[in-house]
Each structure stands twice: as structure tokens, then as C-alpha cells.
Amino acid sequence: MKFRVERDVLAEAVTWVARGLPARPPVPVLAGVLIEAGAEGTLTLSSFDYEVSGRITVPADVEEPGTVLVLGRLLADISRNLPNRPVDVVTEGAKVQVICGSSRFALLQMPADDYPTLPTSPEGSGSVDGTVFTQAVAQVAVAADRGDTLPILTGVRVEVEGESMTLLATDRYRLAMREITWSPVVPDTSAVALIPARTLAETAKSLGAAGTVEVSLAGAAGGEGLVGFEAGQRRTTSRLLDGEYPKVAKIFPASSETEAVISTHELIEAVRRVALVAERSTPVRLRFSEGQVAIEAGAGDDAQASEAVAATVNGPDIEIAFNPGYLLDGLGALGTTFTRMSFNAPLKPAMITGQESADADIDTTYRYVLQPVRLAG
């Protein structure tokens, strides 16, 4: 095998495809990136860990077609640090020579014949705007469980009905849901997929900049148990989580007694400052009254902090407490100038939504529901 490729093209391709390589692969070959140089002048790089696959195709000047397998993270580190000149890659015996200017690296070939066959992506189900999809995934994935007690809660539930796509995640303490529109191949498409949140977040972030993301949902021919994403020359698949996701949509409050509209930036900054004195798992207290929300943390002999932020409050005064990390996660995911917080009682779930102006109508395309913390005493 022998080919020449631009340094930036190689570095970007290897970095993308190697991003999900396991730190401790179950078998050594899974630490590798498979490089296939085609006679038509293309270079295809692939990775697979039995759960997630990645494949990218880039242009190259191929003199001798061939296939090699080399350590992915090492090749990514090398390619990012090469001088800004064309890179020549050639096999010599058991080694792969990487030459760029006066820089020369010799990498050991791994047994490509032992590399598993990448899964075939399901048939395309539709497409979605990359920017919208990336934002939606980020807003929802923040609420997914990060532990392994209940593996099903580490996923994001993606449901499509016609042109509507709904993403939902929960870790039992908070619940996030975002509704977006997409363009299905079949107008009356109906499907549900439970995708690992971490994989979905990384995929959306890496593909969203391409403009349009093609989505292939499970249930299509040959794709049972898989979801596929494609943007430009980048393709990835992920195995879906098994199990019945809890019916949590009923948790969203249908009405509220008290509503407050606050500047998102001011609220985030105030909560962040006050939370500095909150010990691990200690809540921050929010007291809503006419014209303001008072934020407090700490009590007794502990360090204490308080701050007030202007707010438009409609309804009875209320005092409610939250885990500050969970509250900041929700506020940070909004992406809007103002935050609307809706309450019914100090111990009933509160709902957070965003809006661009202080007097805008309520927008429920993104909803973040947070379970309050019971105050001692």
C-alpha cells in the first residue's frame, strides 16, 4: 500500500474515527484504525468496538491500493503533530511508514484479517438539520443517568411520528424533553429507539457541523438493534439499548400555581456563586416573591451565601430547593435569554422552559423538569 494525503485531511479523519476507540479494548485489534486505500483515489478509515462504529472517506493520491490496521490513538497523535506538508504512507514489511517532510514514523502493522466486519447501517429513515439536532441532543443528554445501576436510563429515547422527532432522557431526579421537526423518507414514519446518551451526544456534536444529518433508525431491513447517522463522508452506527423505557411523560406538569421569568444569564451566575458554599449534595434554596428570587445556601455553623435576582413572579410566593448541579445543567441547556420556572408546590416537580423575551408566550419545545429537595427541619 502506498498513498499521499494532505496533513490536515489525514489528521481530521484519523482524529474523528479514533475518537471512540476503547481505552481498554476487549481484544487488541479493536485499538486499531483500519485504513483502506482504494484505486479510485479514496482513503477510508474505520473503527469499531462492537458497540459503536465509525467510518470516514477522504480523497488521497493512491499509488498502490491496500489495507492496513494500525494503532488508532497513536496515529491520531502523530498526524496532528506533523508539519504542514503532504504525508506519504507506505507499507514496508511488517511496518507502516509515515513520512512528512523530514519527519518519519514507523508503525507496527496489526493483523487486519482479525478485524471484525463493521455492521451495516439500517436503511435511511430521514434527515434533520445538523445544528438543530446537535442542540436538541445536548439539551436532553444532560439529564441521562451517568451511572450503571439502571443501564436503560443511560440512554436517550428518540421517538419519531411523521415529521416530529421527540428526544427524552431522565435519571429519576430530572427529566428533559425536546421536540424538533425532521424530514422522514416515508411521511407516516413511526419508530422508537433508545440510544446510549454519551454515544448520541458525541455523534451529534461531530456530525452536526456538516449541515444535514441522515438518520437511520432501527427496524429497517438489516438494521434491527442499530441506529445509523451519516453526514458528508462520515458514517457511524451504534447498538441500541434493550428494555422498556419508563413512561415518564406524565411527570410533566399540566398546569402551575406560580410562574417566574428571570434573565437566564443572571440566574446562572447567581446560582453558581451561591452554590460555592454548598457542600456536596447540599441544596440551594430559591425563594420567589414579588419582583425577585432570593437564592441562598448554607445554614447554621456552615458557610452561608445569598443573592437576589430580579424576576417577574405571577402566583403565590414559594420557597423551593434544588440540587445546584442539576439546576445549573438545566439552565445551561436552555440557550435562551430568559428562563421561565413553573411551580405547584415546594415538593412537586418544577418545570423549566426558555424564552427569548421577558413577555414571550411559553415555549414548550424544550422542557426540563427537576425534582425538588426536601429541606431539613
Statement: residue 147 has pLDDT above 90: no
Do 238 and 282 lie in one domain? The reply is no
275: which 3 cell numbers?
452554590
Q: What is the maximum alpha-carbon separation in the chain?
A: 78
Question: Does residue 305 sit in the same domain as residue 235?
Answer: no
Q: Is it the case that residue 220 has pLDDT exceeding 70?
A: no
96-133 in b/e burial notation, b at 16+ Cβ within 10 A? bebbbeeeebebebbebeebeeebebbebbbbbbbebb
162/185 Cα distance (integer angstroms) = 10
Q: Among the three residues 249, 268, 297, which one is the final residue of a domain in this structure?
A: 249
323 is a domain residue: yes
pLDDT digits (tens, 9 = 90+) for 152-191: 999 999 999 999 999 999 999 999 999 999 999 999 989 9
Domains: count for the chain: 3
Same-domain status, 105 and 135:
no
* Model pLDDT for residues 263-316, shown as the tens digit of each residue: 999 999 999 999 999 877 789 999 999 999 999 998 777 789 999 999 999 999
83/184 same-domain check = no
Instruction: Output the pLDDT for position 224.
Output: 64
pLDDT tens-digit series, residues 77-102: 999 999 999 999 999 999 999 999 99
Class of residue 93 by CB neighbours under 10 A (exposed 0-12, middle 13-18, buried 19+):
exposed
Per-residue pLDDT at 221: 35
Q: Are residues 164 and 187 in the same domain?
A: yes
Judge whether 359 lies within some domain.
yes
Asked if 18 and 76 sit in the same domain, the reply is yes
**pLDDT confidence band for 248 (50 / 70 / 90):** confident
Lowest mean pLDDT: which of 48-57, 99-108, 210-219, 227-236? 210-219
Higher pLDDT, 370 or 300: 370
Specify the pLDDT at position 279. Answer: 79
Domain membership flag for residue 349: yes
Domain of 17: which CATH number?
3.10.150.10
In a domain, 58, yes or no: yes
pLDDT score of 244: 87
pLDDT for res 11 = 96
Q: Give the domain range for residue 285.
A: 253-370
pLDDT average, residue stretch 217-232: 72
Confidence category of residue 377, pLDDT binned at 50, 70, 90 = low
Residue 335 near residue 135, CB atoms below 8 Å: yes
- Boundary residue ending a domain (249, 284, 309): 249
Residue 10 domain-assigned (yes or no)? yes
Task: Please indicate, yes or no, whether residues 203 and 318 belong to a single structural domain of this protein.
Answer: no
172 near 144, Cβ under 8 Å? Answer: no
Q: Is residue 348 part of a domain?
A: yes
Q: What is the mean pLDDT of the chain?
A: 92
Residues 237 and 172 in one domain: yes
Output the CA torsion sign for 200, 197, 273, 359: positive
Say yes or no: 107 and 132 in one domain: no
Distances (CA, A) of 76 to 108, 109, 208, 256, 263: 15, 15, 22, 52, 43
Phi, psi for 251 (deg, rounded to 5): -70, -25
Question: What's the predicted TM-score (pTM) here?
Answer: 0.90
State pLDDT tens for residues 104-146.
999 999 999 999 999 888 888 999 999 999 999 999 999 999 8
| Residues 282 and 353 placed together within one structural domain of the fold | yes
Domain boundary among 199, 225, 249: 249
Query: With bands split at pLDDT 50, 70 and 90, how would you rate the model's confidence at 366?
Result: very high
Do residues 70 and 178 share a domain?
A: no
Domain membership flag for residue 310? yes
The answer to whether position 121 is within a domain reads: no
Residue 52, pLDDT score: 93
First to last CA, the chain: 73
Residue 47: what pLDDT?
96
Same domain, 280 and 349: yes
